[in-house]
Amino acid sequence: MKVVLFCGGLGMRMREDAASAPKPMAMIGDRPLLWHVMRYYAHFGHAEFVLCLGYGAAAVKDYFLRYDETISNDFTLTMGVRDVHLFSSDITNWNITFIDTGLHATIGERLMRIREHVEDDPYFLANYADTLTDAPLPQMIERFRDSTATASLLAVPVQSTHHVIDIDGHDQVSRVRPIRDLMQWENGGYFILRPEIFAELRTGEDLVPHALERLLPQRRLIAQRYTGFWRAADTFKDRAELEQLYRSGRCPWMLWDSNRHGVTAGAGSAAIHEVGQ
């Protein structure tokens, strides 16, 4: 199944770190965020990628054109002939299509511009290139196949660490609680889409909310709730937390690496629950 990844946004909240590189190329350990997302899909057998490029396209292209397997794989080097024998490989079976979808395009417009690469498939996967999870993708796909929906998204608890307050009529605070306690759900990406989604896309609009809202009257959008590990690297703080997990060897999203696929509190054990069809 093809995987469309949106990796052309400006990423303004992380530009101070590397003004010349797009956010998906921010490093987590020895590999960029984009690689971690792609590796997750490849772990489940989905290794045909369509990258929607925009800002920093050259950095993404150059990274894969110069890809060095030895960075994340064990190998033997025979010095006499400078021969490298890899014990394993990351991307040998990957097929990556690089498409320039514009510098200022919305995600919906980027999806429209790669239509010819996926419209003949019964369904395809799509995602932001800077969110990581250990959600059970095969189970998500099976639920979608069994539905009549045009689109599915991963719904995750609100990630904010802020608190909300209840105020009475005299401006007295009666309650303070974490936002997560409200059990609201936010769009976590990891979309599964049928080609019918293209009929709902419009120039100048976005996939979320515009196109997905058009699916609601016919009940053609489902959300698959997941309370396990999910992180979006939107800010420097987010990336620092992911880097800390990587350095500690507790990386729930790295399902392909038994040495690093540690389990953090609440991660890896939550089931997918389908709602909203």
pLDDT > 90: percent of the chain: 67
Q: Which two tokens stand for residue 262?
A: 């540690």
The residue ranges of DSSP E strands in the chain, in sequence order, are: 2-6, 27-28, 31-32, 48-53, 75-78, 83-86, 95-100, 124-128, 131-133, 151-157, 163-167, 173-178, 185-187, 191-193, 221-225, 230-232, 273-275
**Is the pLDDT reported for residue 229 higher than 70?**
yes
- CB contact burial 267-276 (16+ within 10 A = b; e otherwise): bbebebebeb
For the whole model, what pTM was predicted?
0.87
Greatest Cα pair distance, the chain, in angstroms, is 82
Q: Which two tokens stand for residue 65?
A: 């054109």
Residue 275's pLDDT is what? 54
Q: What is the chain's mean pLDDT, rounded?
A: 89
Once rounded to an integer, what is the mean pLDDT over residues 257-276? 61
Do the beta carbons of residue 34 and residue 129 sit within 8 Å?
yes
**C-beta neighbour count of 74 within 10 angstroms:** 9
**DSSP-assigned beta bridge partners for residue 231:** 132
- Condensed to tens digits (0 to 9), the pLDDT of residues 163-175 reads 888 898 888 888 8
Distance from CA of residue 209 to its chain's centroid? 17
Q: How confident is the model at residue 269 (pLDDT cuts 50, 70, 90)?
A: very low
Closest CA to 49 of 62, 34, 71: 34
Kindly state which CATH superfamily the domain 2-157+184-275 is placed in.
Spore Coat Polysaccharide Biosynthesis Protein SpsA; Chain A (3.90.550.10)
- Condensed to tens digits (0 to 9), the pLDDT of residues 162-211 reads 888 889 888 888 889 887 777 789 999 999 999 999 999 999 999 999 99
- Kindly report the length of the chain: 277
For 29, counting Cβ atoms within 10 Å of its Cβ (0-12 exposed, 13-18 middle, 19+ buried), the class is middle
**Is the pLDDT reported for residue 17 higher than 60?**
no
- Condensed to tens digits (0 to 9), the pLDDT of residues 112-152 reads 999 999 999 999 999 999 999 999 999 999 999 999 999 99
- Condensed to tens digits (0 to 9), the pLDDT of residues 24-37 reads 999 999 999 999 99
